[in-house]
Amino acid sequence: MKAFPIINNSWADIYKLIKMKTQGNVLVTAIKWKIFDYLTEPVLADTIAEKLRFHPRNTQLFLNALAGMELIQKKNNLFFNIEKSAEFLLTSSSSYLGQFFCRVHEWHEQSRTQMEQLLINGPETGMDKVDASTWVEYTRQASAHQFCGPAQKIANIVSSLPEFSGMKKMLELGGGAGFYTMVIVSAHESLKGVVLDLPPVAALTREFIRKYEALDRVSAMEGDYTTDYLGNSYDLIFAAGTLNFAKIHIDKIFKKVYEALNPGGIFISQHDGISHERTRPGDLVCDFLFSELSGMDLIFPKGMIAEAMIKCGFRSVQTLTIKTNFGDMDIDIAKK
C-alpha cells in the first residue's frame, strides 16, 4: 500500500484562521495564487511581485500580513515559509490542505443578510436537505484533511484495542474517500476494509483507493446506511462525523450495526459532543449555526451516542474525549 505522510505539526490554528474574515481572505488569496510555493527559499517581496505581476508595494503589505498571521517568516526583508506552512500549504506536499481550507472558508461565508432572514422568517422548505452532489464535491476537494492527523489518531486508538490483532474485516459508514479505513488497515497485517457510501460518492471512493494502492485491502460498497443492508461478519464498524446527518435514524442504524457485527465485535463512533444546554464548546455551536438555522438538527448532546449504543444491545461503551484540529471530539467504543 502507498505510504501515508507522517504528520509532524497540528493545523488547528490554520483551521481557526480560515474562519476569521480578513485573515481568512488573506489566507485563501495566498492559497489560490500559490504564494507559499514561491517561499521555499528566502525571497524579496519585489521578486514575488515580478513573478506574479502584482503591485510591488501591495505585495509587500500582503506578505507582511501573512507574516503577522505567523504563516510565513520575515527576516532582513526576506520572506520564507515556516515548517507548518511548508507541510500543509505547499502544493507539492503530500499533506497539502489548500483545497480543504478554501472549502471551509466557503462554508463560513454566509452573509449577515442571510442570517437575519433566517432569524426573521425561519428556514425555507428544503433547506435542511443535502444533495448527493454536495458529498461528491466535499469528498473530492476536502477529504485530504483526514490523513493529515485525524485518521492516524483513530488508527492508534483502534490498534491499541486488545481485539485488534484478531480482526479480519471492518466497515466504515459514510466513509467518503476512505482514508480512515485505509490508515486503520495499514496498521494491521491482514485486516480488510469496506467503505460504504452513497453511489455517486462510492465511485469516487474507488478512485482514492486505487490512487493510494489499497485495492488489495480496501473496497467500496454503494448504499445508504440509513436504509440499506450493511452486510455481516464485521469485527469492526467505524463512523466519523457522518451520523450527524442521520440523527433521526440513530436507533435503527445502531440495531443494524449490532446485527452486522460478529460476537465480540467493536463499533466506534467519532463525533462532536455538545454540553451546557447546547452552548459549549462555542466553536462547535458557531460551526453548525447556519446549518441549524436552516432547519437541520445536527449536533449530538454529550452521551447521546453512548446511550443509544447500550439501548441497541451493546454490552459496554467506553467514551474518550480527544483533542483534534477541529476541537474536542468524543470517541465512543461499543462492544457487542
Distance between CA atoms of residues 14 and 260, nearest Å: 39
State residue 127's pLDDT score: 66
Q: Structural domain boundaries of the chain?
A: 12-109, 132-335
Q: Name the percent of the chain lying above pLDDT 90.
A: 84
Picking from 112-121, 209-218, 233-242, which range would have the lowest pLDDT averaged per residue?
A: 112-121
Q: Name the percent of the chain lying above pLDDT 70.
A: 99
Contacts for 313-321 with beta carbons within 8 Å, 24 or more apart?
313/255, 313/258, 314/258, 314/267, 320/157, 321/273
State residue 282's pLDDT score: 86
Answer yes or no: are the C-beta atoms of 17 and 28 closer than 8 Å: no
At 76, is the pLDDT very low, low, confident or very high (cuts 50, 70, 90)? Answer: very high
Picking from 55-59, 132-136, 215-219, 274-278, which range would have the lowest pLDDT averaged per residue?
A: 132-136
Distance between CA atoms of residues 265 and 237, nearest Å: 8
At 241, is the pLDDT very low, low, confident or very high (cuts 50, 70, 90)? Answer: very high
Given CATH 3.40.50.300, say whether it is the number of domain 132-335: no
Taking 70 as the threshold, does the pLDDT of residue 128 lie above it? no
Contacts for 73-76 with beta carbons within 8 Å, 24 or more apart?
75/42
- Mean pLDDT, residues 126-155 taken together: 87
State residue 30's pLDDT score: 98
At 153, is the pLDDT very low, low, confident or very high (cuts 50, 70, 90)? Answer: very high
CA angle 75, 15, 60 (to 5 degrees): 30
Burial (0-12, 13-18, 19+ Cβ within 10 Å), 19:
middle
At 335, is the pLDDT very low, low, confident or very high (cuts 50, 70, 90)? Answer: very high
- Mean pLDDT, residues 65-78 taken together: 98
Taking 90 as the threshold, does the pLDDT of residue 112 lie above it? no
CA distances from 33 to 27, 58, 91, 238, 335 (A): 10, 14, 11, 38, 49
State residue 95's pLDDT score: 97
Picking from 159-173, 276-290, 304-318, which range would have the lowest pLDDT averaged per residue?
A: 276-290
Q: Which is nearest to 66 in space by CA: 12, 31, 40, 27?
A: 27
Taking 90 as the threshold, does the pLDDT of residue 287 lie above it? no
- Mean pLDDT, residues 158-182 taken together: 98
Taking 90 as the threshold, does the pLDDT of residue 276 lie above it? yes
Taking 90 as the threshold, does the pLDDT of residue 110 lie above it? no
- Mean pLDDT, residues 309-318 taken together: 98
pLDDT, averaged across the chain: 94
DSSP state of 174: T
- Mean pLDDT, residues 257-267 taken together: 99
At 160, is the pLDDT very low, low, confident or very high (cuts 50, 70, 90)? Answer: very high
- Mean pLDDT, residues 164-193 taken together: 98
The CATH-assigned architecture of domain 12-109 is: Orthogonal Bundle (1.10)
Cell numbers describing residue 193: 476494509
- Mean pLDDT, residues 9-22 taken together: 85
